Amino acid sequence: MRLFIGIDLPKPTKERLDQLVTRFRPLAPLKWSPANNLHITTKFIGEWPEDRLEQLIMKVKSVPTPDRVEIAVRGLGWFPNPHRPRVFWAGVSATPSLYELARSTDRACAELGTAPEDRPYSPHLTLARIKDPVPLQALRQAIADLESVEFGAFTAPSHKLYLSKPGPSGSIYTPLAEFPLPA
């Protein structure tokens, strides 16, 4: 089973991002993310044996909860850079507690044998993936014409363990466990 841990977005933030993607979709032939799939990953686990699922849940449950995780979704950008982009993203600004949560979760999962992260944590929301070079001028202009790139702010109530399965129009994410965070 393919797993990751992440923070779900509140409905108003998802709706704003869905409106943005709906507006941008006709401007560039990218692999656009469905709004229901938008989340902030705190730990990508990858393949995990089903018979060890409970062990993983108990380990993540034992991760110390940081202070409140305050998140603002704002800004748009490109990974790895705007000249040869592979991912179009919405930015995530957060209190240090989000970074602490990601580090602690990474350490806990590494104790069970997952690969520890080798890059600094960079929270974001993947709005689209770019497989092959495509014209992006119309999309870039639409981004420049936006009145605001503020999509919502919230206190994360929890983080969740998700199962990722392929579906007919992209991955389907199913929550398997929820871990509360301080309010």
Can you list the domains of the chain with their CATH numbers?
2-180 (3.90.1140.10)
Beta strands, E only, the chain:
2-8, 31-32, 39-47, 70-79, 87-94, 124-129, 150-155, 158-167, 170-180
Residue 170: what pLDDT?
79
**Tokens matching residue 102:** 């990601």
Chain centroid, CA 134 distance in Å? 24
According to the model, what pLDDT value does residue 120 have? 93
DSSP for residue 89: E
Q: pLDDT category, 171, cuts 50, 70, 90?
A: confident
Other Cβ atoms less than 10 A from the Cβ of 43: the count is 26
Please give the Cα distance from 73 to 91 (Å, whole number).
6
Are 170 and 55 within 8 A, CB to CB? Answer: no
Prediction pTM value? 0.93
Task: Give the single-character DSSP code of 10.
Answer: P
Residues forming the active site: 39, 124
31-89 pLDDT tens trace: 999 988 999 999 999 999 999 999 999 999 999 988 999 999 999 999 998 889 999 99
Residue carrying the six token digits 């919502």: 152
Decide: 127 and 78 in contact? Cβ < 8 Å. no
DSSP symbol at 30: -
Q: Is the peptide bond before 123 cis (omega within 30 degrees of 0)?
A: no
